[in-house]
Structure 1
Amino acid sequence: MNIENKNILILGLGVSGVASAKALNKLKANITINDSKAKEELEKHIEELNNIDIRYCLGVNNINLDNIDLIVKSPGIKNSVPIIQDAIKKDIEVITDIELGYRLFKNKIIAITGTNGKTTATTLVGRIFKDAGINAHISGNIGIGILWELVNSKKEDIFIIEASSFQLENTYDFKPNISTIINLKSDHLDWHGNYENYKNAKMKIFKNQDENDFTILNYDDLEVRELEKQIKSKTVFFSGREKLKNGIFIDCNNIVYSDGFKNINIIKLDDIKIPGKHNIENIMTAIGIALAFDIDINSIRKTISEFEGVEHRLEFVDEIENVRYYNDSKGTNIAASIQAIKSLDGPIILIAGGYDKNSTYDEFIEAFDGKISALILLGQTASKIKKSAEKYDIKNIYIVNNMKEAVNKAYSLAGYKSNVLLSPASASWGMYNNYAERGDDFKNRVKNLRRNLNDQKS
C-alpha cells in the first residue's frame, strides 16, 4: 500500500492521532486532522506537530470529504457519528491505526485482547520477549501509538499489540501471527450497542489468520472455548481448572505445558509475585504466546518470577497505620473489579464509581461476599451502585464528590488490618481523562495522607 501524496483524514487528535500524523508525514501523505474539541483544548498535542504541514479542522463534528482518500480514526470515535456515516456513503474507507500499520509494514505481530487482563498480559509478553533478547515493541492500546513506532522500526522487530474492541472494530485485513482472547464479559455496551457487537469486534483478532498462525484461548471461559470452531489457525488452550491433554494448565502447584506427549513444568505458583487467579490467566496467556514463538522455557520462567505487575492494576500503594492501600484504577468494568475484590482478604473499604457505560451492578454487589466493610462511591454511577447495594442490604455506603474526600473517608473508616481498594467498576471519563490519571490522583491522595499524618506527629 502506497500512501505518498494521498489525502488522509485523521479523526481525533489524541495519542494515536499524534502518532499517526507524525508517521503519515514521514510517509509523505497529505494530512488533515478533525477533532470536535476546540484548539485551546488540544494545544498540547498541536505543539507536538508544530513542524508538520497539517490542515486542521477543529471544534466541529463534520467537514467536507470530497478530496479525502482514507480516514484513520481514533479508536474511541463511534462509527455512528455523522462524519463516518458520510464517509461510508461516499465509499471512503475508515480504519484504525493498527489496520493501517498492518497494511503498510510487514513486521511480525502478536495481538492480545479480552475484556480484562490485556494490559498485564501484553506487558508481561513484552518483558519475556525483551529478556529473551528479541527486539519487541509494546503498542496498540498502550504506548505512544503504533504507526509512529512502526515507521521507525526495523523489519525484524516484533510488535506486541494490546488490541481493544474499539481498535478491532474497524479492521479488515489485520492478520497477527499470534492472537489471543483472554476472556469475554459484557463491556462497552454504550459504544457497541449490545454484547453481540462487542463480541464480534473482539473476534476480528483471528478472522484473517490461517494454519501458519497461532491463537491462544481460555478454556475456562465457555464463550472463548467455543470460538475454536471458527478459528483456522493452530489453537493452544490454557486452563486454571482442568488438566488439558494438550495445552497449559495447573498441576501440583505448577503451571504446566503439555504437547500431548509429555508435561513440562513452567513455573511454580509460589514463585509468582502478582496476586489473584485472574493474573494466573494472564501468565498462562503469556506462556502460550512465548511457547508459540519458541522462546526458551528457562527464560520464560525467569521473567515471570521477576514480574511484579503493572501500574494501576491491583497496585500496592502504601501501608499506613496497619491499613494497606491498593490502586486498581484499571478496574474500569464490573468483571475486573470483581477479580480485584477476590484477590484481597477482607475487610475491604471499597472506593468505586465513575462514568456510566450502561452497566448493571447486581453481579458486582453479589461478589462482595461479606468482604466489604464500607462502600465509598463517586462519579456518575455512584447512585446506581448505591441502589444495587441497598437491594442486597449492604451497610456503610457513602457518596463523596471527589478522590480527596474518598481517601479521607476511607482513612476515617479503616480498622486494623483493613484494605482500602480503589477499583471503580466504571470508566474514568467525566472526572478524569483516563484511568491512569484517576489512579495517579488516588496515589497522590494516599501520599498526602501519609505526609499529613507525619506532620501531625512531628
Structure 2
Amino acid sequence: MIRQTRYENKKVLVLGLALSGFHAAKLLLKLGAFVTVNDAKELENNPDAQELVASGIRVIAGYHPVELLDESFAYIIKNPGIPYSNPMLERATELAIPILTEVELAAEVMEADLIGVTGTNGKTTTTTMIHELLDYKRPAGKAYKAGNIGIPAAAIAQEATKDDDIVMELSSFQLMGIDEMHPSIAVITNITEAHIDYHGTRDAYVEAKWRITENQTENDYLILNWDQEELRELSKNTKAKIVPFSRKEEIKNGAYLKDDMIYFNEASVMPISDIHVPGLHNIENALAAIAVAKLKGIENDIIHEALSQFGGVKHRIQFVKEINGRSFYNDSKSTNIVATKTALESFPNNEIILLAGGLDRGNSFDELIPYLDKVKAMILFGETKEKLQETAEKAAIKIIKLTENVETAVAESYRISEKEDVILLSPACASWDQYKNFEVRGDLYIHAVQELKAD
C-alpha cells in the first residue's frame, strides 16, 4: 500500500456507511485522518458502526445533521448511492468541500495496476471475464476484482502489491466522485440511457461515464465499443490510445468478430462457439476482455482455455449444468421484463422452457409476447403466475404449468423437457413474495438442478 499523506491530520467525513463506507473509514484512520462517519441507520442496529466506534472513530447515526458541516471538514467520502441533491452534499458544495467516493481513496493507495471497467450494460460480466483471464495460470502475482461488483476497493487496494492487477467495476455514481484516479487500461462496454433520476440528464450521465478516462495519458489505453457511433465521437476527447472492439466489422489495432472467430490485431484468438455464456452481448463482453488480456501480454492459448471455462456471473444467465442433453441456466437477477427479454434473446437457436414468476407489482407481462416465439413451455410460480399464464395464452404457448415455487418448477421443467432444450429461470419479477432476495431464489434453483438425476 502506498502511504498517502493527503488525509493525514485532516478531518474527513464518511457519509453513508454500508460496506464501502466501513472500509473507507478504516483506511482513513490508518492514513492518519480524524474520521467521522454519519449514517441514517440507528447505531444499535448497525454492527459495522459499533466496530468503528470501538476502533476510535466517531459515528453519528440515525439522521444526517447538516450542521455537522460547520466543523470544517477537509474532505467528504460519500456512499455512491447518496444523490448530490442530499442536503448534506448541497451544503458541502456551497462550502467547497471536495466530495469523493471510496474508489478514489482506494486508487490513491493502490500499488497494483488498475484496469477500470464501466458502461451501461455488461460491466459485471466484463469485469469478471477480465479478472478470470488475468488470473488464469498467472506466473506471478494475482488479479483481484473490486468496486461496484460488490467488493470494497478500499480493502483490496491495501492487500494488492505492485505485482498484482486490480480489475475495478466503476458505476457512474462512483466516477462522479473521482479526482486523480488513473486506470492504465479503461474499458467502456457501451452507453445507453440509465439513471436519469440520479444524474438529471442523459448528457450528465454520459459525462460521468467518460470521467473514467479524464486522467489517462498517451501511455494508457481506452477500450471502446466501436459499434456505437457515440463512443466513436467521444473517442476524440481522450489522451489515451484507443483500442476498439466490434462485433460488426473488421477493425485494425483492436478486437473483432469475423466468421464466428474472435480476432485481435488481425490474428485469430478463439471461436465464439467456445464462449459458453449465451447472447450477442456476451460476445461483446468477451471482445473487450480479450482486448485487455492482449494488452497485458497474455497468450492466445491461455485466453482460449480460460474463456472456454467461464460460466458467467452468478444469477445472470449463468450456466448451471447439462443433464441428459438439457442445459440449465440461472437468470434469477432478471427481476423485470426488460431483463427477461434480454435473456430470451440470448438463445436464438434453442427451444426454451421458461421458469418465471414472483412479486406482483401490478404490471402486465404482455410486453414479453414478441420474445416468446422460441418458448415451448412456461412453468409459472409466485404471486404473478396467473398474470403470466394470461400472457402465455395470448402468445399461444403450447405447455403452461402452474406450480408452487422455483424448486417444484425445476422438477416439472425437467419432466416435460427434451434433449437440446434450454431450461431458463428468468422470472421477470422481484423475489420478495417468496424469497429474501434474487440470490436466494437463484441458489435454490441451482440446488434443485444439482439434485436432478440424469435418468
Instruction: Give the TM-score taking structure 2 as reference length.
Output: 0.81
1:250-303 residue CA offsets vs partner (Å, 9 max, x unmatched): 223321112xxxx21111223323322222111111111122223333332332
Distance 1:203 1:395, change over 3 A: farther
* Residue in structure 1 matched with residue 285 of structure 2 by the alignment: 282
- Aligned with residue 9 of structure 1, among 9, 13, 29: 13
Q: CA deviation at 1:112?
A: 0.6
Map residues 140-219 of structure 1 onto 2, 5 A cutoff.
Answer: 140-219=147-226
Q: CA deviation at 1:60?
A: 0.8
1:346-377 residue CA offsets vs partner (Å, 9 max, x unmatched): 33325267799xx9998766444453754858
SS at structure 1 position matched to 2:70: coil
Q: CA deviation at 1:305?
A: 2.5
1:102-131 residue CA offsets vs partner (Å, 9 max, x unmatched): 334454211011222212211221122223
Distance 1:448 1:102, change over 3 A: closer
* C-alpha distance in 2 between matches for 1:301 and 1:339: 26
Deviates more, 1:299-308 or 1:68-77: 299-308
CA contact (8 A) 1:116 1:335 kept: no
Map residues 37-436 of structure 1 onto 2, 5 A cutoff.
Answer: 37-43=41-47, 45-46=48-49, 48-49=51-52, 51-63=54-66, 64-67=68-71, 68-105=73-110, 107-131=112-136, 132-133=138-139, 134-258=141-265, 263-317=266-320, 325-331=328-334, 336-344=339-347, 345-351=350-356, 366-371=370-375, 373-374=377-378, 393-394=394-395, 405=405, 408=408, 415-417=416-418, 419-423=422-426
* C-alpha distance in 1 between matches for 2:40 and 2:370: 40
1:399-419 residue CA offsets vs partner (Å, 9 max, x unmatched): x9xx97465467668843465
* C-alpha distance in 2 between matches for 1:251 and 1:327: 29
CA contact (8 A) 1:113 1:181 kept: yes
1:410-441 residue CA offsets vs partner (Å, 9 max, x unmatched): 766884346553435678899988xxx41233
Q: Which runs of 5+ in 2 are unaligned?
A: none
Distance 1:38 1:432, change over 3 A: farther
Distance 1:218 1:427, change over 3 A: farther
Equivalent residue letter for 2:199: H
CA contact (8 A) 1:314 1:328 kept: yes
* C-alpha distance in 2 between matches for 1:130 and 1:305: 14
Are 2:443 and 1:438 equivalent residues in the alignment? no
SS at structure 1 position matched to 2:173: helix
Q: CA deviation at 1:163?
A: 0.7
SS at structure 2 position matched to 1:185: coil
Q: How many residues align?
A: 438
* C-alpha distance in 2 between matches for 1:367 and 1:150: 43
Equivalent residue letter for 1:189: I
CA contact (8 A) 1:96 1:167 kept: yes
* C-alpha distance in 2 between matches for 1:25 and 1:360: 51
Distance 1:304 1:446, change over 3 A: closer
* C-alpha distance in 1 between matches for 2:17 and 2:404: 30
Are 2:38 and 1:34 equivalent residues in the alignment? yes
Equivalent residue letter for 1:30: F
Distance 1:190 1:21, change over 3 A: same
Distance 1:251 1:232, change over 3 A: same
Distance 1:441 1:333, change over 3 A: closer
Equivalent residue letter for 1:207: E
* C-alpha distance in 2 between matches for 1:78 and 1:355: 28
Instruction: Give the TM-score taking structure 1 as reference length.
Output: 0.81
Q: CA deviation at 1:151?
A: 2.5
Distance 1:151 1:245, change over 3 A: closer
* C-alpha distance in 2 between matches for 1:353 and 1:225: 41
1:54-101 residue CA offsets vs partner (Å, 9 max, x unmatched): 111112133411222211111111111111112112211111111222
RMSD: 3.9
Equivalent residue letter for 1:90: L
SS at structure 2 position matched to 1:125: helix
CA contact (8 A) 1:216 1:238 kept: yes
Equivalent residue letter for 2:299: D
SS at structure 1 position matched to 2:69: coil
Q: CA deviation at 1:314?
A: 1.2
* C-alpha distance in 2 between matches for 1:24 and 1:117: 32
Distance 1:412 1:194, change over 3 A: farther
Q: Which runs of 5+ in 1 are unaligned?
A: none
* C-alpha distance in 2 between matches for 1:40 and 1:394: 52
Q: CA deviation at 1:142?
A: 2.3
Equivalent residue letter for 1:441: R
SS at structure 1 position matched to 2:166: strand
Q: CA deviation at 1:244?
A: 1.9
Identity %, equivalent residues: 35
